[in-house]
Each structure stands twice: as structure tokens, then as C-alpha cells.
């Protein structure tokens, strides 16, 4: 019954040619604003022109569409802090992947944006899981054959998307740059962590040298630089402190090395991984370095993550570190929405509930300077209405709004389910669409 209602609501939504202008009232849900207003047991949200006009109990407002959220839970949409959405279809089918390249360059200039495919099947699937935005990064897998280049320690540039599947769904460009230190960096840089560190350091130094002497360098009246001008150009937003440098590091000592490096060049640092982050939580907090963690991965899977534990998020948050929780690495980018399961497990291991919700939405927005993540006046209307507690794996999104537009929650997974609900012999299945 519920499904029918949702479907009709969506079908109706598609009839409005100018849905952007539609006003919507989400009525009577339990609302986690993730703003100063905190959580409201029963509240309404008024939306116009894709933005939230007002949030509060029993709003005196009318709207073209009213969504009854009674008994439901309303949160900002999930924002994935690290994904390969739109760059990957089938991981083991190389022609469907554009997330990683090899080559002679140090890697920072690589821009995956032209490869972005908003029609990827991963997008509706993760949208139906409650994800409304994602940061998309390229990647180097140091263990892929042929990927090891002594130069490449930067993965490249990144962008942010809305998960509405539209061709204009790129929300922000050059959101951050990503580099590898620690174990992965060592694999990429010729065998030692120290060599990865030296490469990142020298690239940042040359990027500054380039900035200070741009015209002389362009004219060729300068020494031969180690790195290409395209690579150094791509690092300008980082050395200018405009966009963060995301550095992968898990071992506590690698994290401290990254902090020292960032401090020396005055760059905004984000640590990705941080399995042993809890061991240096105070240093991270003091340096105001946020972390993106795989909160459900407690395996001592390498000698760099011997201290991995399920209360990492709780301990880091308690120390004052801003924590974002990524989709679990073991489920890959296809199931990026499972960050909410990881967040739920973090709550089970001591992370305060609201902090957990923030770790999959507003904290991500803060770290990468994106819209979204809160439900307050003026905020973009990226909203999920859940059947129940969003951190429970048995709950699911009943409605998803992106910039105030109701989204379809149909996926290949639901289509296949409906085709084979009662599998039987014969040929008829082929005519069930």
C-alpha cells in the first residue's frame, strides 16, 4: 500500500513541468535538523524554490504538495565524503571504469570530471539508499598490476555531485586534491613511506615556487622544474589554502607526518583512513584536521592499521575532531549508502547519536565546503524521509528530495526483484518489465 502511495506521489511529481518552483510541506515528521535547533520530535518543513523556507512545529503554511511524514524520521540527505560514483560501473570490467590512470606524471593534474556518467546504475541505487550528494575522487590502486609508477602519489582532482542523475548534476568542481602517504604512498613511491612524503613535499614546494614565479617559468626563464606545469597548476588551490588536501594515512605515525607536512605548507588537511586516528586524536583536534574514516573496519588488516577499532569515531569525536564516515571499503563504491550502517555501529560503540548523523551529512558538507547537511532556513532541500531510525539497517528512505525535487526510488535491484518475486519455469519472465 505504502509503495503505491509513494509511486503515485512520484508520478504526480513528474507531471509538474516546473517542479523547481513547487512548494512542498513535509508535515509532522521527527526532524533531525543537525543545526543549532537540534532534533524536533514533531515538526514541519516548508520548501520553496529548492530551499528550506522554514522548519518548526505546526507551521502555519500551505503548499502545492504536502508530504505526510507522521511517524517518519526526516534528515538531511546522506553526503558521501569519498566515492567513485559516475566513474565506475563494474569494478572488474575495465572499459566501464574511469577512476584510475597510470602514467609518468605525479598525478595531481588528473581530472576525472569529463568521464563522469550521471546515468550510472550506481546513482539511483545509492539515491534509493538515502544519498543525495557525493564527493567523487579518482584513485590509484597501488596493488593493481601496472599501476605502480615511481612518480604518482597524487590521485588527482575531484568534484561533487547531486544524485539526481541529471546531466547537470555536478555540484562543485575541484573540491579537493588527494594524495597518498603511509603504506599506500610507500607502494607508489618506490618502496618507502619517506619517499612518498618527499614527493608530496617537493610537489607542494614547487607549486609555491610556480605561484611566486609564474611568468618567468612560463617564459622559460627559470630552472627546470621536476613536475609538469599542469600538475603544479592543479595544486594551486591547495597551496592557496582554498581546497583541502586529502591524504590517506592509517598508522598513527603517518598521520602525524601528514599533520607536520600540512603545517609546513599551511595547507588545509583532511586525513582519509585514520584507522589509528584515536591514538593521535588530540593532535588532530589541535591542528583542526578533520578525518574521513571507514568506521566499521576494525580489522588489523595491515601493519598500518593494527590499532583499528570500532570506537575510533567515538574517541575522535570526543577529542574534538570533526569526523566524516565513508561507505565501508569492503562494500565498495556500489554500496556507498552503507555509511549509515557504519554510523549506526559507531553509535553502538559510543558515538553520540546526533554526532553520527552529522558524520554522514553536515560534517561532510563542512569538510568539503558543500551545500547541504542541515535542515534550516535557507538550506538546500536535500531531504530524506525515512521509514524509521535512519541508522537502523531495517529502515529505508520512503521519499528523497534533491533541491526540493522528489526523486524516483526505483532501481535495477527493485526491477529485478519485481520480475522474479515468484520465479517459475517457462518463458514469461521475459515479458515482465
* Site residues (vs another protein, CB under 8 A): 3, 88-93, 121-122, 296-303, 306-307, 309, 328, 330-332, 334-335, 338, 341, 344-345, 347-348, 391-396, 412-414, 416-417, 420-425
Only one residue has cell 566499521, namely: 296
User: According to DSSP H, which parts of 214-319 are helical?
Assistant: 214-218, 229-234, 236-239, 252-265, 281-286, 312-318
- Closest approach, Cβ 222 to another protein, in A, equals 44
Contact assessment for residue 27 and residue 66, using Cβ atoms and an 8 Å cutoff: yes
- Closest approach, Cβ 92 to another protein, in A, equals 4
Question: Based on CB atoms, which residue is closest to another protein, 280 or 367?
Answer: 280
- Closest approach, Cβ 90 to another protein, in A, equals 5
Question: Based on CB atoms, which residue is closest to another protein, 111 or 298?
Answer: 298
Question: Based on CB atoms, which residue is closest to another protein, 50 or 182?
Answer: 182
Question: Based on CB atoms, which residue is closest to another protein, 241 or 300?
Answer: 300
Distance, CA of 342 to CA of 409 (rounded, Å) = 22
Question: Based on CB atoms, which residue is closest to another protein, 190 or 307?
Answer: 307
Contact assessment for residue 387 and residue 395, using Cβ atoms and an 8 Å cutoff: yes
Distance, CA of 363 to CA of 408 (rounded, Å) = 26
Question: Based on CB atoms, which residue is closest to another protein, 175 or 347?
Answer: 347
- Closest approach, Cβ 65 to another protein, in A, equals 24
- Closest approach, Cβ 2 to another protein, in A, equals 9
Contact assessment for residue 429 and residue 419, using Cβ atoms and an 8 Å cutoff: yes
Question: Based on CB atoms, which residue is closest to another protein, 99 or 236?
Answer: 99
DSSP letters spanning 349-373: TT--HHHHHHHTTHHHHHHTT-S-S
- Closest approach, Cβ 370 to another protein, in A, equals 25
- Closest approach, Cβ 187 to another protein, in A, equals 12
Rg (CA), the chain: 23
Question: Based on CB atoms, which residue is closest to another protein, 151 or 250?
Answer: 250
Give how far the C-alpha of residue 177 lies from the chain's centroid of Cα atoms, to the nearest Å: 14
Question: Based on CB atoms, which residue is closest to another protein, 17 or 428?
Answer: 428
Which grid cell is 244? 583541502
DSSP state of 188: H
Distance, CA of 143 to CA of 183 (rounded, Å) = 11
DSSP-based three-state secondary structure for 122: helix
The packing angle between helices 252-265 and 193-212, to 10°, is 10
Distance, CA of 431 to CA of 377 (rounded, Å) = 48
CA atoms within 13 A on the CB side of 323: 32
- Closest approach, Cβ 393 to another protein, in A, equals 5
- Closest approach, Cβ 278 to another protein, in A, equals 11
Instruction: State the virtual CA torsion across 219, 223, 227, 233 in degrees, nearest 10.
Output: -40
Amino acid at each position: 500500500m505504502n509503495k503505491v502511495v509513494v509511486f503515485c506521489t512520484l508520478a504526480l511529481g513528474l507531471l509538474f513541468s516546473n517542479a523547481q518552483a513547487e512548494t512542498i510541506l513535509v508535515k509532522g515528521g521527527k526532524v533531525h535538523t543537525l543545526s543549532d535547533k537540534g532534533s524536533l520530535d514533531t515538526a514541519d518543513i516548508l520548501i520553496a524554490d529548492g530551499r528550506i523556507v522554514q522548519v518548526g512545529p505546526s507551521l502555519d503554511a500551505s503548499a502545492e504538495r504536502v508530504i505526510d511524514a507522521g511517524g517518519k524520521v526526516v534528515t538531511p540527505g546522506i553526503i558521501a565524503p569519498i566515492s567513485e560514483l559516475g566513474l565506475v560501473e563494474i569494478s572488474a570490467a575495465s572499459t566501464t571504469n574511469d577512476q584510475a590512470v597510470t602514467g609518468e606524471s605525479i598525478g595531481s593534474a588528473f581530472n576525472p570530471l569529463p568521464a563522469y556518467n550521471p546515468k550510472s546504475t550506481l546513482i539511483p541505487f545509492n539515491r534509493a539508499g538515502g544519498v543525495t550528494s557525493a564527493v567523487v575522487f579518482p584513485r590509484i590502486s597501488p596493488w593493481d598490476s601496472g599501476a605502480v609508477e615511481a612518480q604518482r602519489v597524487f590521485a588527482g582532482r575531484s568534484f561533487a555531485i547531486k544524485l539526481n542523475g541529471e546531466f547537470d548534476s555536478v555540484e562543485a568542481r575541484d573540491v579537493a586534491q588527494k594524495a597518498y602517504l603511509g603504506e599506500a604512498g610507500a607502494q607508489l613511491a618506490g618502496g618507502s613511506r619517506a619517499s612518498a612524503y618527499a614527493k608530496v613535499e617537493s610537489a607542494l614546494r614547487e607549486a609555491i615556487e610556480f605561484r611566486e614565479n609564474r611568468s618567468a617559468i612560463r617564459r622559460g626563464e627559470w630552472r627546470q622544474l621536476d613536475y609538469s606545469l599542469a600538475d603544479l597548476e592543479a595544486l594551486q588551490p591547495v597551496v592557496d589554502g582554498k581546497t583541502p588536501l586529502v591524504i590517506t594515512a592509517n598508522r598513527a605515525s603517518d598521520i602525524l607526518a601528514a599533520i607536520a607536512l600540512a603545517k609546513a605548507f599551511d595547507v588545509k588537511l583532511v586525513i582519509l583512513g585514520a584507522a589509528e586516528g584515536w591514538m593521535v586524536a588530540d593532535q588532530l583536534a589541535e591542528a583542526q584536521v578533520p578525518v574521513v574514516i571507514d568506521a566499521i573496519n576494525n580489522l588489523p588488516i595491515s601493519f598500518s592499521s593494527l590499532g583499528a577499532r570500532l570506537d575510533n569515531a567515538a574517541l575522535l569525536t570526543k577529542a574534538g575532531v570533526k569526523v566524516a564516515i565513508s561507505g565501508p571499503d569492503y562494500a565498495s563504491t556500489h554500496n556507498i549508502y552503507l555509511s549509515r550502517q557504519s554510523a549506526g555501529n559507531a553509535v553502538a560503540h559510543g558515538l553520540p547519536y546526533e554526532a553520527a548523523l552529522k558524520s554522514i551529512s553536515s560534517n561532510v558538507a563542512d569538510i568539503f565546503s558543500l551545500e547541504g547537511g542541515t535542515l534550516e532556513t535557507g538550506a538546500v532541500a536535500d531531504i530524506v524521509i525515512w521509514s524509521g531510525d535512519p541508522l537502523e539497517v531495517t529502515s529505508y528512505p520512503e521519499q528523497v528530495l534533491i533541491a526540493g525535487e522528489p526523486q524516483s526510488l526505483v532501481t535495477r535491484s527493485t526491477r529485478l526483484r519485481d520480475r522474479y518475486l515468484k520465479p517459475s519455469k517457462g518463458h514469461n519472465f521475459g515479458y515482465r518489465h
